[in-house]
A and B are shown apart, each in its own frame.
Chain A
Amino acid sequence: MPVLSEEIRNRIREEFAKYPNKRAVTLPALHIVQEASNCVSTAAIKEIAELLELHPAEVSDTMTFYGFFRSGDRPLGHRRVWVCRSISCMLRGGEELLDRVCNRLGVTPGQTTSDGSVTVEYAECLGACEGAPCILVDDDCFLNQTEESVATLIERM
């Protein structure tokens, strides 16, 4: 049984037209798979490699370079919350915010809450320094955050 559905495969195939070779579809394919299944398992890597006519080691090499992708043994929670720790946020309480959010959820950066709902990570500059400290939930940015505002955001998710 393949792990990638026909729908996922088609979405990956649709990317081929944009590039002169299939290898360039590695990042798009990894994004499509991780978005759908919260991780990219070893089986998925093999199937991506097959679609892209690459060796699984090539896909894996690219995937692991970017801290963004999660292997099958470390899947993401339902939502991923990134707390910025870079300079502009640090100067306005970003690190304390990270500490409070982690404590509140009972995790350390990188971990997922036991109910699988939220993964917390630290991030480098999110490019929203005018709203420091800020966080990213999946790929939506929220500015001028406090422990309470993050808690409210998480409750509403």
Chain B
Amino acid sequence: MADFEPVLLARIDKPDSVSLAGYRADGGYEALRTALEMEPEAVTAMVKDSALRGRGGAGFPAGLKWTFLPKNHPGPVYLCVNADESEPGTFNNRILMEEDPHQLIEGIAIACHAVRSNTAYIYLRYEYGKSYRVLEAAIKECYAAGLLGENVLGTSFKLDIYLHRGAGAYICGEETGLIESLEGKRAWPRIKPPFPAVEGLFRKPTVVNNVETLCCLSHIVQRGVAWFKSIGVPADPSNPRDMGSYGPKLYCVSGHVNRPCCVELPMGVTARELIDKHGGGVWKGRQVKAVVPGGISMGFLSAEELDTPLDFNGPLKVGCLGLGTAAVVVVDDQTSMVDVLYNCCRFFAHESCGQCTACREGTSWMTKILQRIRAGRGRLEDLDLLQEVAGSMGIIPGTTICGLSDGAAWPVKNALGKFRPEFEEYVRSGRQSITPADELMAVH
């Protein structure tokens, strides 16, 4: 395959990638001008035809989601930009915001025109201080230049964009947790339906989209549907439910590779290619033991599964939860899967919002069981218990409100499904791997 010409990351190495002048010099905001000349419904139809699927984790088709908004609603309609990026291993939204803020703002404006919204909130995780300052400056420039405010680009379209900072909670990335948090409440995800399109922020029709999803929009408007669909993996004609995996995608590669990176490639690159070609291979000359395909919620690939294409379907075919955020985390053969799984479980126990019993208790018990195993006091029955708890929590078994618990269960299911002999050996040997850091954190 010839080297792929980046689209979303095309401008990030320019010295002036963040300024409005620099963006406009590269043709910035021309796509918005084109979109504003189109009827909102025509923009929505175009995005629907492009088959652009959400980059935030669920892969829902963006244009289709917009059509769920009620017709002829008196308004207001809101757009919430999901910039809470907190899935472990994921950092592509940060790069998009820090390095090319106007690409995002243009995408927001196109989306707002398409869904007839005049107000967008960017829900930004607090930890992204640099993103906050870069976006704040970029938004200010846009108001001064007539790109935001009353008459965008001299048209009758009005748009305000507000930055809203989070406060360090993963669950604010779940779209209804985000909405509750924006409303000034604890971020308890809502029971659905109603879906946000019908009743969302401030009980009004609302669209929630990820930063990377929105960043694709100016390119789709400018280069067209056929161009977008020429990139990636086409829908499988024998499967009418397959919507394809089109367009460029940002893959984050981290963990035990020589060169951790964020790289833009057509959807469908394999984990092996990401590791060997883009990540510079496994560090210290070691071998791969396991790979997280798309953030820890998605589970693990084994070393035998590295040729899995990382499109929306590939990870499903090897028992993972999905493509997720396309954040690839490499685990080398010197690392214990017991420790890796404990790290994942501890994350979810820490981040569960606590309103569903199966999730609150399940994440906490899985963490405790693994800690007992790591303390050398595990029993073989514990492995079955772990699997039983993991099987009982989530939207899939129907016991919880949101997908955090499916994401918490999946690493456990995959680790025990694909690496069980290692867990058994660990338990039998009575080994222990509690560290001083574990003890410090237990004090907290």
Say yes or no: A62 contacts B254, CB within 8 Å: no
B167 touches A141 (CB 8 A): no
Q: Is B340 an interface residue (CB 8 A)?
A: yes
Pairs A-B, 4 closest by C-beta atoms:
A139-B129, A26-B184, A65-B186, A66-B167
Asked if residues A125 and B90 are in contact (CB atoms below 8 Å), the reply is: yes
Q: How far is the CB of A85 from chain B (nearest CB, A)?
A: 7
Main secondary structure of the interface of B (DSSP, over half): mixed
* In-complex Cβ contact of B165 among A28, A102, A108, A132 (8 A): A28
Question: How many of B's residues come within 8 Å of A, CB to CB?
Answer: 64
Question: Nearest chain-A residue to B202 (Cβ)?
Answer: A20
Assembled-state Cα–Cα distance A74/B5 (Å): 51
Q: Are A124 and B186 in contact (CB under 8 A)?
A: no
Q: Are A141 and B129 in contact (CB under 8 A)?
A: yes
Chain A residue numbers with a CB within 8 Å of B126 are: 31, 68, 139
- Supply 12 A–B pairs (Cβ within 8 Å), ascending by A: A52-B184, A62-B185, A67-B169, A92-B255, A125-B89, A127-B86, A128-B91, A129-B255, A136-B127, A136-B129, A138-B129, A141-B130
Q: Interface extent on A, as a size class? A: 35 or more
Structural contact, A87 and B292, CB atoms closer than 8 A:
yes
Find chain B residues with CB under 8 A from A138 CB: 129
Whether, in the assembled complex, A57 has its beta carbon less than 8 Å from a beta carbon of chain B, the answer is no
Inter-chain contacts of B128 with A (CB < 8 A):
127, 139
| Chain A proximity of B75: nearest CB distance (Å) | 11
Find residues 99-157 in chain A having any chain B CB closer than 8 Å to their own CB.
99, 102, 108-110, 122-132, 136, 138-141
By a CB distance below 8 angstroms, the chain A residues around B72 are: none
- Per the 8 Å Cβ criterion, residues 104-163 of B in contact with A are 125-130, 132, 160, 162
On whether the beta carbons of B260 and A132 are closer than 8 Å, the reply is: yes
A91–B256 contact, CB under 8 A? Answer: yes
A23 within 8 A of B: yes
Q: Does B406 contact A (CB under 8 A)?
A: no
- In this complex, the member of A20, A102, A123, A129 whose beta carbon has the largest number of chain B beta carbons within 10 angstroms is A129
How many angstroms from the CA of A87 to the CA of B126 in the assembled complex?
20
